[in-house]
């Protein structure tokens, strides 16, 4: 290990950790060590559907997502990355299957439009113009945002990591954090299986393992792992532009630039845990939902199924910001399935908080203390 001290230690080399490390270095804070126990994107970042959307039901989420999209739009240039993070704004088509859901969508759209997010409400017929083979049986309507899209999660994470390194961030891979020394509520050091790094500032970007990391600093953080499964098909010529999402079926499906379809469904009753094995129940459930909603896509062959972990919080919303009583222990976790899409703006916000104490977007509502205060953030738009 080269450095035995750092101004900031970032724990976790997923897309969030790498974005935070980069943004810190961008602000001149280059004495940063990022600790990753495997390799960048080996965890949830490398397993996720990698959709990027702005269609949310709370103002804060909409604003965060909107700002993230703006960074995604110029990311290759911003991070000076080749070949490309492959961000495609092919849109998100969200389907409503009940009047109640449709009303929620209308409320979301009104909110989104008020925040400069260009979303349209669609009739079922209009939805068919975008995805002609969609099965609209039972559908009430849809919403569509053209600027939503999809990126390559590996390239995105590697782009941030590479840019961070270029600015002087030290990234330690295959290194595991084993302890965090705290004295009088001040951080003294992060201890790893390869040595000790003296520091006063930690940013906890450990995804599904953020609870364990926080516990090392004596903090009780309600973040846990929850398996989500996903599969990918053989590639075909481009036939479907947008990500298609149905909350009613807990279903999403996207054709990626390579031509394959990536898709997932939520499995009811999935226990808390760190199991990343695949199940046949998922495979069957996925195939049947797909056959129901996008029949021609079911004529493709599945090439691989795998699983990853959502870092879940009690209200399925991110946990951001400093975490009293421990000074300068910052959380950037709990994303519950929308971490990838928010990573660029989370990087900016965390770096601002760490270096200046404030950020341009007020994220105080997403602090770790909200659970004890009973102030859960209820976001209606989350998917399996």
Partner 1 sequence: MREVDIAVIGAGPAGLAAALACGESGATTLLVDYMDAPGGQLIKQTHKFFGSERQFAGTRGIQIPDIFIGRLSKMPNVQLMWGVNASGYYADSGVLTLEDGGKFIKVKAKRVIIATGAAEKALAFENNDLPGVYGAGAVQTLMNVHGVKPGDRVLMVGSGNIGLIVSYQLIQAHVEVIALVEAARCIGGYLVHAAKLRRAGVPILTSHTIVRALGEETVRGAVVAQVDQSWQVKPGSEREIACDVICLAVGLTPLVDMMWQAGCEMRYVPALGGHVPARDENMRASNPAVYVAGDAGGVEEASSAMISGEIAGISAAKSLGFEVQGAEARLGQLKADLAAIRSGPTGEKICAGVKCATVCGGEW
Partner 2 sequence: MAEREKSPDDNIVICRCEDVTLAEIRELIAQGYHTIDEIKRVSRAGMGPCQGRTCRQLIARELAIALGVPVEQVEMPTFRPPSRPVLLSTIARGEADE
Binding site for partner 1 (CB under 8 A): 275, 277-280, 283-284
Rg (CA), the chain: 20
Q: What single string gives the DSSP state of each residue in 61-120?
A: HHHHHHHHHHHHHTHHHHTT-SS----B---EEEEE-SHHHHHHHHHHHHHHHHTT--EE
Q: Which of residues 205-244 bind partner 2 (CB under 8 A)?
A: 233-234
Distance in Å, CB of 278 to partner 2, minimum: 6
> CB-wise, 278 or 355, nearer to partner 2?
278
Task: Indicate whether 306 belongs to the interface with partner 2 (CB under 8 A).
Answer: yes
287: which 2 tokens?
């195939």
Q: Interface with partner 2 by CB under 8 A: which range of 53-61, 185-193, 203-211, 283-291? A: 283-291
Asked if 183 is part of the footprint of partner 2 (rule: CB under 8 A), the reply reads: no
CB distance 349 to 361 below 8 Å = yes
Residue whose CB is less far from partner 1, 284 or 362: 284
Distance between CA atoms of 283 and 231, rounded to whole angstroms?
8
Report the run of H or E that residue 186 belongs to, with start and end: strand 186-192
Place of tokens 């908080």: 353
Count of residues that bind partner 2 according to CB under 8 A: 31
8 Å CB contact between 34 and 169: yes
Which among 106-114, 211-219, 240-248, 282-290 is the span making contact with partner 2, rule CB under 8 A?
282-290
Minimum distance between the CB of residue 266 and partner 1, rounded to whole angstroms?
18
Shortest distance in whole angstroms from residue 128 CB to partner 2: 21
Q: Smaller CB distance to partner 2: residue 153 or 334?
A: 153
Q: Tell me whether residue 143 or residue 289 sits nearer to partner 2 (CB atom).
A: 289
By CB under 8 A, what part of segment 72-101 binds partner 2?
Answer: 82
Give residues with Cβ within 8 angstroms of 286, minimum separation 6. Answer: 229, 231, 263, 264, 265
Among 26, 30, 31, 42, binds partner 2 (CB under 8 A): 42
Cβ-based nearer residue to partner 2, 57 or 259: 259
- Considering beta carbons, is residue 212 or 279 the nearer one to partner 1? 279
Interface with partner 2 includes 156 (CB under 8 A)? no
275 binds, among partner 1, partner 2, none (CB under 5 to 8 A by kind): partner 1
Q: Which does 133 bind (CB under 5 to 8 A by kind): partner 2, partner 1, none?
A: none
Residues 6+ apart with CB under 8 A from 192: 1, 35, 172, 175, 176, 177, 178
CA distances (Å), origin 173, targets 152, 194, 268: 21, 11, 35
Q: Find which of partner 2, partner 1, none residue 377 binds, CB within 5 to 8 Å per kind.
A: none
- The Cα–Cα gap between 96 and 57 comes to 14
HSE-CB of 262 using CA atoms within 13 angstroms: 18
The helix/strand/coil state of 235 is coil
Query: Which listed range, 98-106, 181-189, 295-303, 322-330, lies at the site for partner 2 (CB under 8 A)?
Result: 295-303
- As a whole number of angstroms, the distance between CA 368 and CA 186 comes to 18
Residues found near partner 2 in the complex (CB under 8 A): 39-42, 46, 82, 154-155, 158, 233-234, 258, 278, 280, 283-284, 286-288, 290-291, 297-306
């Amino acid at each position: 290990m080269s450095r035995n001290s750092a101004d900031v230690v970032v724990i976790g080399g997923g897309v969030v950790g790498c974005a935070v490390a980069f943004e810190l270095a961008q602000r001149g804070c280059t004495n940063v060590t990022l600790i990753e126990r495997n390799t960048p994107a080996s965890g949830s970042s490398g397993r996720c559907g990698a959709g990027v959307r702005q269609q949310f039901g709370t103002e804060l989420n909409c604003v965060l997502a909107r700002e993230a999209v703006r960074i995604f739009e110029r990311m290759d240039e911003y991070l000076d990355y080749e070949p490309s993070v492959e961000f495609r704004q092919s849109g998100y088509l969200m389907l409503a299957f009940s009047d109640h859901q449709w009303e929620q969508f209308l409320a979301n759209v009104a909110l989104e439009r008020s925040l400069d997010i260009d979303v349209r409400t669609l009739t079922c017929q209009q939805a068919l113009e975008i995805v002609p083979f969609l099965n609209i049986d039972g559908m009430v309507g849809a919403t569509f945002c053209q600027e939503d899209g999809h990126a390559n999660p590996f390239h995105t994470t590697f782009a941030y990591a590479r840019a961070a390194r270029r600015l002087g961030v030290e990234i330690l891979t295959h290194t595991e954090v084993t302890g965090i020394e705290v004295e009088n509520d001040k951080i003294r050091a992060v201890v790893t299986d390869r040595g000790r790094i003296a520091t006063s500032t930690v940013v906890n970007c450990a995804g599904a393992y953020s609870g364990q990391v926080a516990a090392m600093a004596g903090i009780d953080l309600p973040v846990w792992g929850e398996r989500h499964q996903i599969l990918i098909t053989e590639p075909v010529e481009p036939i479907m532009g947008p990500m298609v999402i149905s909350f009613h079926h807990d279903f999403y499906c996207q054709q990626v630039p390579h031509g394959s379809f990536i898709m997932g469904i939520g499995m009811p009753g999935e226990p808390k845990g760190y199991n990343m094995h695949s199940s046949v129940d998922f495979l069957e459930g996925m195939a049947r939902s797909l056959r129901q909603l996008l029949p021609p896509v079911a004529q493709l062959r599945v090439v691989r199924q795998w699983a990853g972990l959502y870092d879940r919080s009690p209200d399925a919303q991110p946990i951001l910001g400093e975490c009293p009583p421990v000074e300068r222990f910052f959380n950037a976790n709990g994303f519950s399935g929308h971490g990838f899409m928010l990573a660029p703006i989370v990087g900016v916000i965390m770096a601002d908080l760490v270096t200046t104490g404030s950020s341009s977007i007020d994220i105080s509502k997403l602090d770790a203390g909200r659970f004890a205060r009973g102030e859960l953030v209820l976001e209606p738009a989350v998917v399996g």
